[in-house]
Chain A
Amino acid sequence: MIRAYWGFRTALAWTLAFVSFLAFAATNTNYLNPGNIYALIQTFAVLALVATGLALVMIAGEFDLSIAGVVPLSALVAVKVGETSGVGVGVIAALLAALAVGLVNGWLTATFAIPSLAVTVGTLVLTTGIGFAIAGSAVVTLTDFGPGFALDQPILGVLSLRAILQVALAVAVAVLMTWTWLGISTHAVGSDPARASASGVSVPRALLVLFAISGLFAGVAGSLQGVSLASGSAGPNEAILLQSVTAAIIGGVSVAGGKGNIWGVLGGAMLLAVVSNGLSLQGTSSAVVQLINGAILLGVVILDGPLTCVIQGALETSRTVPEPSSTARITEREALP
């Protein structure tokens, strides 16, 4: 029944995304241009990847604020190192840095039984500080635009190498979550760590892996974006944190942990990408888009609880209708003396 409910949330997220897409397409003639669809998919890819990483950590009952620092930091590292040693080395350096941050988060949370919120606040401030130490308040640029162009070259008119890579990673994790130990352990750790540990799931190892994935994905998104824009700057990117949390919660991930579905998160990411793309195409300022993002998150968070109650109640009612069965009648007859 739980699976039926969370399947419902996934379906809801994708339905809302599809409906908004149709709404924007109907009201704006330019919406269906290949150029705009390309921009939409670019936005979706970045958000899908980062939101997937965050959702993994949330399903395990934790939270990762540090992605707001890791995404800009990896862009910065990729560009700064790439300027001197080549883009390939730059990206690898950025990924290593992001992975290190994720491992620190996971290790501290697991080993010392500290709420991950406190740990990730620390790593967020730390990564922001490292960013400023590397670049100061200047914008670092990459003189070689070649790799950036290669990453963003339109394939089939609407896709790009960067988008395909990011979406592939997110889908890979979704598949792993549905069909391998990763999904079972993550849900177990998020639902009840004590019981999970007693059943043989290594909670510290699971947390380490999940935070590492979250950090790594934030690093991939950030470094690819840095190479694509050929620039990077220090300072936290709170917008990506806000959008990732929104995408995760829309997709049915519960902040308390134990529930959630990456396919739903992808649906939430698509919904947000469609909305922000449609709004900016209409000329809405980024401030209004941010406001709407915040309002959507607030709305989703308020509605989450009651929605869960309503759906579970409906599912329970549909199951308690008694089914007349022949076996029952036979047993009754046999019971008569």
Chain B
Amino acid sequence: MTIAPSQAQQPSRRSVETSKAVRRLLGEGASVIRIVTVALFVIACFAIRNFATVSNLRALFLSVALVGIAAVGLSLITIVGRLFSLSISAIIATSTIVFASQLDSGPWVALLAAVVFGLVVGAIQGFLVGRLSTDPIVTTIAAAAIIFGAAQILTGGRNVVGDRDASVFGSSLFGIVPAQVFVFFLVTALVWWLHRYTTVGRALSLVGLNEKAALVSGLRSWPPVLLAFAVSGALAGLAGGLLGSESGQGNLQLGATFGFDAITAVVVGGISVKGGQGSPLDAAVGAVFVGLLGNALILVGLSYEVQLMVKGALVLIAVVIAGATNQQASFRGKGNR
């Protein structure tokens, strides 16, 4: 028995289409964040004194650059549906030590060594998570402990001081753009392009979105997972190497907050934790937004500790908004957990 809706109850066509369009725009967390970031930037330029100066903007982007590089790498792991990697901080800290210890072969060689170290460590984790299907969170927690423990044993907890001068990475292009910021832009553009315009990138998204469909279509899941972890490790190594180059030294206390900052950037940037959706560009925008907010708060006069609380609250708010506006959020199902 069918019940026909009465004519009086149907809303007008135009209002339905508008509300659908608005809901679609708001439903994509990534576009919301981009709008909010630009809006915040514009507001800060006018409302906060000293914000729109070259030195402040330089400092802002410098503080964001390294976290942004790590976040872009982490976003690949999230997109492929493996949640997060909790070993980013460990890889960054150990990469500073690798960089400093290899510095006597020249700064570029040292940086390459740090990247290769991160690549190998990431690839091992990617093999475990992808091929042996171990849980990504637990695997990366264990990997972080092993990396930290090994590094602690090898260095005795001491500072590793590099021999040569690494200040080439502290120079600025055209006198304005710091080298690290340039690397951040370059890495973001490269990874975004690879994700968007190559089959490898597409495979990444498909495996995250619906692994069973990918399998049935003939796409094995472990190569994209391995690649995501390897690239994430390599970029974390790059960030660590650049971090080490700032002082020419390496120790295990460096980059301790970068891991959670990268996760914050990925989540705030609108990339769904369930996987398959979003792009590395969103993570970069998320990193810029978090840095922007922090910078604005400091200029307004709030302390560093308050910033940390704001970051935590931001993650919660972003995650709630993403969950609340997700039209596909049916009942909490097991899915591909």
Interface residues in chain A, defined as those with a beta carbon under 8 Å from any beta carbon in chain B: 61, 63, 65, 104, 108, 112-115, 117-119, 121-130, 132-133, 136, 192-194, 197, 203, 238, 241-242, 245-246, 249, 255-257, 285, 287-295, 297-298, 301-302, 304-305
Contacts of A305 in B (CB 8 A): 132-134
Closest residue of B by beta carbon distance from A287? B152
Q: Which of B46-54, B99-107, B224-232, B320-328 contacts A (4 or more CB under 8 A)?
A: B320-328
Contacts of B170 in A (CB 8 A): none
Contact partner of A294 (CB less than 8 A), chosen from B137, B149, B316, is: B149
Once the chains bind, are A121 and B149 in contact (CB under 8 Å)?
Answer: no
Main secondary structure of the interface of B (DSSP, over half): helix
Once the chains bind, are A122 and B315 in contact (CB under 8 Å)?
Answer: yes
Once the chains bind, are B316 and A108 in contact (CB under 8 Å)?
Answer: yes
A247 to B139, CA, bound (A): 14
A302 to B138, CA, bound (A): 10
Q: Which of B140-148, B184-192, B209-217 contacts A (4 or more CB under 8 A)?
A: B140-148
A112 → chain B, closest Cβ, in Å? 4
With A114-B323, A256-B337 known, 20 other A-B pairs at CB within 8 A are A65-B137, A112-B324, A114-B319, A125-B264, A129-B312, A130-B309, A132-B304, A133-B308, A136-B305, A197-B331, A246-B142, A255-B138, A256-B334, A288-B153, A290-B152, A291-B146, A291-B150, A298-B142, A301-B135, A305-B132
Closest residue of A by beta carbon distance from B312? A126
> Which residue among A63, A117, A203 has the maximum number of chain B CB atoms within 10 Å of its CB?
A117
Contact partner of B153 (CB less than 8 A), chosen from A65, A194, A291, is: A291
Once the chains bind, are A121 and B138 in contact (CB under 8 Å)?
Answer: no
Closest residue of A by beta carbon distance from B252? A287
Once the chains bind, are A194 and B331 in contact (CB under 8 Å)?
Answer: yes
Once the chains bind, are A127 and B312 in contact (CB under 8 Å)?
Answer: yes
Once the chains bind, are B260 and A121 in contact (CB under 8 Å)?
Answer: yes
Closest residue of A by beta carbon distance from B330? A113
Contact partner of B148 (CB less than 8 A), chosen from A136, A197, A241, A290, is: A290
Once the chains bind, are B134 and A301 in contact (CB under 8 Å)?
Answer: yes
Q: Map CB proximity to A onto B246-267 as digits: 1 under 8 Å, 0 otherwise.
A: 0000000000000010011001
Contacts of B292 in A (CB 8 A): none
Once the chains bind, are A290 and B145 in contact (CB under 8 Å)?
Answer: yes
Contacts of A132 in B (CB 8 A): 304-305, 308
10 closest A-B pairs (Cβ-Cβ)?
Answer: A291-B149, A126-B312, A294-B145, A129-B308, A122-B315, A287-B152, A125-B312, A129-B309, A112-B323, A122-B316
Contact partner of B84 (CB less than 8 A), chosen from A121, A125, A127, A255, is: A121
B319 → chain A, closest Cβ, in Å? 4
Contacts of B142 in A (CB 8 A): 242, 246, 294-295, 297-298, 301
Contacts of B264 in A (CB 8 A): 121, 125
Contact partner of A290 (CB less than 8 A), chosen from B135, B149, B306, B311, is: B149
Report how many A-B pairs have Cβ atoms within 8 Å. 169
Any A CB within 8 A of the CB of B116: no
B59 → chain A, closest Cβ, in Å? 21
Any A CB within 8 A of the CB of B1: no
Once the chains bind, are B312 and A128 in contact (CB under 8 Å)?
Answer: yes
Contact partner of B312 (CB less than 8 A), chosen from A61, A124, A290, A291, is: A124
Once the chains bind, are B309 and A302 in contact (CB under 8 Å)?
Answer: no
Contacts of B137 in A (CB 8 A): 63, 65, 117, 255
Once the chains bind, are A121 and B267 in contact (CB under 8 Å)?
Answer: yes
Given known pairs A129-B309, A285-B153, the reply for A297 and B322 (CB within 8 Å) is no
Any A CB within 8 A of the CB of B35: no
Once the chains bind, are B316 and A126 in contact (CB under 8 Å)?
Answer: yes
Given known pairs A126-B313, A193-B333, A285-B153, the reply for A121 and B263 (CB within 8 Å) is yes
B8 → chain A, closest Cβ, in Å? 34
Any A CB within 8 A of the CB of B297: no
Any A CB within 8 A of the CB of B329: yes
Once the chains bind, are B319 and A118 in contact (CB under 8 Å)?
Answer: yes
Once the chains bind, are B323 and A287 in contact (CB under 8 Å)?
Answer: no
Any A CB within 8 A of the CB of B273: yes
A27 → chain B, closest Cβ, in Å? 22
B225 → chain A, closest Cβ, in Å? 16
A127 to B312, CA, bound (A): 8
Contacts of A292 in B (CB 8 A): 149
A124 to B267, CA, bound (A): 14
Q: Map CB proximity to A onto B279-321 as digits: 1 under 8 Å, 0 otherwise.
A: 0000000000000000000000001111111111111100110
Given known pairs A241-B141, A255-B138, A302-B132, the reply for A121 and B315 (CB within 8 Å) is yes
Closest residue of B by beta carbon distance from A239? B145
> Which residue among B274, B332, B337 has the maximum number of chain A CB atoms within 10 Å of its CB?
B332
Q: Supply 25 A–B pairs (Cβ within 8 Å), ascending by A.
A: A61-B334, A63-B137, A108-B320, A112-B329, A114-B319, A114-B322, A114-B323, A117-B84, A117-B137, A129-B312, A133-B309, A136-B305, A241-B141, A242-B142, A245-B138, A256-B337, A287-B157, A290-B149, A291-B145, A291-B149, A291-B153, A294-B144, A298-B128, A298-B142, A298-B146
